Amino acid sequence: MRKREALTLLAFAVFKVLAFTQAGEEEILLRQVSEQGANTAFIQQAGSFNQAYLLQINNQAATIRQAGSDNGAFLMLEGSGNNVWAIQEGEGNFYQLKLEGEDNRLSLSQKGRNNTVLQELSGAREAYLILQQDGDYNRLEQREDGGYGRTLPVRIKQQGDGLRLIIESIYPN
């Protein structure tokens, strides 16, 4: 049994641009935490069973690209002005997003079979989300507590056989 390697990147000061590439299987744990504005992270992982954890707070940008099978991307966006581009290619990949705040942008593309997207949107005003899944037996679930006066354009495109799409919106009484 291989020991799982962990790499944690914490950026509480202005680092501007961070580019990181990893290749391997079941050994990668990556976390990028940014709290001050105008930072950009490029994260690229190749192999199987890799994980990328990303927390962005106010005015951050990130690109995550995972190629391989059974990879996971876990994103949390808080505040305003965050931008994320995520690409997963392969089978059995998992993507989870928690979004709170205003004026955030996200684009996700999954290509392959048996991939999953779970999204939880809370108070997400003026966010813009583009989600695309190409392949068979993919699943996309979105839960939103939009509240009154919320605008949340979401564009979803799924292609393939045996697809599952669940959208749940909760509005206060």
Residue 2 within any structural domain of the chain:
no
The more confident residue out of 59 and 8 is: 59
Q: Is pLDDT at 160 greater than 90 in this prediction?
A: yes
Q: pLDDT over 90 for what percent of the chain? A: 33
Percent of the chain with pLDDT over 70: 75
CA distance 103 to 126: 5
- Between these two residues, 40 and 70, which has the higher pLDDT value? 70
- Looking at the predicted structure, is the pLDDT value of residue 150 above 80? no
pLDDT tens sequence across 70-105: 999 998 888 888 888 999 999 999 999 988 888 888
pLDDT category at 16 given cuts 50, 70, 90 is low
For tokens 């949390």, what's the residue?
76
> What's the DSSP call for residue 148?
T
pLDDT at 26 over 80: no
Write down how long the chain is.
173
Helix (H) or strand (E) holding 138: none
How many domains does the chain divide into? 1
Residue 18 CB neighbour total at 10 angstroms: 15
Tell how far CA 169 is from the center of its chain. Answer: 20
pLDDT at 161: 97
Distance of alpha carbon 133 from alpha carbon 124, whole angstroms: 22
Please, which pLDDT band fits residue 33 given cuts at 50, 70 and 90?
low
Structural domain for 51, as ranges = 7-169
Q: How far is CA 26 from CA 19, 21, 49, 52, 100, in A?
A: 21, 15, 5, 12, 30
Cβ-contact 35, 57 below 8 angstroms: yes
Phi-psi category of residue 26: left, alpha or beta, with phi > 0 → left and psi -120 to 50 → alpha: left
Within-domain flag for 1: no
